Amino acid sequence: MVTLADVARHAGVSSSTVSYALSGKRPISHETRTRIEQAITDLGYHPNAGARALAGKRSHIIALVVPLHPQVHVPTMMEIAIAVTVAAREHGYDVLLLTNDEGPEGVRRVAATGLADGVILMDVRLDDDRIPVLRAQEIPAALIGLPDDPTGLSCVDHDFATAGALCADHLADLGHRDIAFIGYSSGVYRRHAGYAERTLNGFRARAERRDLRFLHRPCEGTYESTAGTLARILADRPDTTGFVVQNEAAIGPLLSLLRASGRTVPEDASVIAICPEAMAEQHSPRLTSVTGPKKDLGQVAVDQVMARIAATTAGEQPDDQLLLMPPELVVRESTAPAPRRL
């Protein structure tokens, strides 16, 4: 293995000079700098990560904790994970993947051993048991999701309440009066996943203000459960003309079932989905949707941890950030004015 000392010898300088040349923490004359660079490529030097972590007290690694049995949409999760990884690299950081089966202990472990300089938590529950660990370890952290007490933490999430409200407004504007909200499986609501509750609350509040009658139905998302859900909705409220879907998996089945029941979208029924754009574009008809912002949550979370790491390194108290990113309503082909009552 080629060490920094080897490079120093080859370039005829001291090892500290090489170190500083690499870190840029003090000025180096143009000449010695080029000699050092030459030596580095000649020898094929790569700094040793372990030694760097030991001496520098920073591992240049952040941990990303992903849910083990994701109730959330997996591709969305993966997209965030990838965005985190790419964004971290731009800060010279690598990403350690942790699954939630280690539980809070996993977070404690990577923090206490110094394996990670910071942590990003996905799929945060309102009362999340990993949060006390973050506080106790005083490790820089960012949450993707919103716990019920975010003090001392940086958080980022979609503004799901607004997303719900946008759906209600859009359907109300089109003259729909009876709306069905098809949500995630009931387990998600029971687990107190914040996003599900917040969407529903935002929708409910706006729906009431706009004098909408509505039904909320959890749904597993399989074809059969969606069929059951839809049947119950139509039995309970035959006049339902507007559908809001938050369960990505239920979208395909729902469209299929509406068609099968003789209802044409959007002439007989309007459907609005809370989902990524790509998914909205993929269906037929293309779906009117409420979608998160362009700038990825993962990217924001990385910026937040980096800010906290920087502050901690500087001996300062990092300040808490709380970012709820506004969603956008994109009108496509699946919503239209409510049909006239017969």
Partner DNA sequence: TTGTACGCGTTATCAG
Partner DNA sequence: CTGATAACGCGTACAA
Do 322 and 154 meet the contact criterion of CB atoms below 8 Å apart?
Answer: yes
> Under the criterion CB under 8 A, does residue 75 sit at the interface with a second copy?
yes
> Under the criterion CB under 7 A, does residue 76 sit at the interface with DNA?
no
User: Footprint of a second copy on residues 22-51 (CB under 8 A)?
Assistant: 44, 46-51
> Under the criterion CB under 7 A, does residue 231 sit at the interface with DNA?
no
Q: What is the dihedral of CA 15, 16, 20, 21, to 10 degrees?
A: -30
Residue in this structure with the two tokens 């808490």, named with its chain if needed: 320
HEC profile of 136-162: HHCCCEEEECCCCCCCCCEEEEECHHH
Buried b (16+ CB within 10 A) or exposed e, 236-246: eeeebbbbbbb
- Of 103, 104, 150, 252, which one interacts with a second copy (CB under 8 A)? 252
Residue in this structure with the two tokens 């970012």, named with its chain if needed: 323
When CB distances are held under 5 to 8 angstroms depending on the partner's kind, the choice from a second copy, DNA, none that residue 212 binds is none
Cα Rg of the chain (Å, integer): 26
> Under the criterion CB under 7 A, does residue 59 sit at the interface with DNA?
no
- Using the rule CB under 7 A, give the single segment among 45-53, 89-97, 226-234, 236-244 that binds DNA: 45-53
When CB distances are held under 5 to 8 angstroms depending on the partner's kind, the choice from a second copy, DNA, none that residue 260 binds is a second copy
Compare residues 21 and 244 and give the one whose CB is closer to DNA: 21
Long-range pairs for 104-107 at CB < 8 Å and ≥24 separation? 104/129, 104/130, 104/132, 104/133, 106/63, 106/65, 107/63, 107/65, 107/133, 107/134, 107/137, 107/139
Among the listed residues 42, 21, 46, the one whose alpha carbon sits nearest the alpha carbon of residue 32: 21
Compare residues 110 and 119 and give the one whose CB is closer to a second copy: 110
Q: How far is the CB of 49 from a second copy (least distance, A)?
A: 4
d(CA 144, CA 80): 9
> Under the criterion CB under 7 A, does residue 112 sit at the interface with DNA?
no
Compare residues 52 and 177 and give the one whose CB is closer to a second copy: 52
Q: What does the per-residue mask of binding to DNA show for 14-33, with x meaning CB under 7 A?
A: xxxx-xx-xx-xxxxx-xxx
Q: How far is the CB of 295 from DNA (least distance, A)?
A: 31
When CB distances are held under 5 to 8 angstroms depending on the partner's kind, the choice from DNA, a second copy, none that residue 23 binds is DNA
- Using the rule CB under 8 A, give the single segment among 106-114, 165-173, 229-237, 313-321 that binds a second copy: 106-114
> Under the criterion CB under 7 A, does residue 99 sit at the interface with DNA?
no
Residue type, 100: N
d(CA 57, CA 48): 14
Binding positions for DNA, rule: CB under 7 A: 1, 3-5, 12-17, 19-20, 22-23, 25-29, 31-33, 45-48, 51-52, 54-56
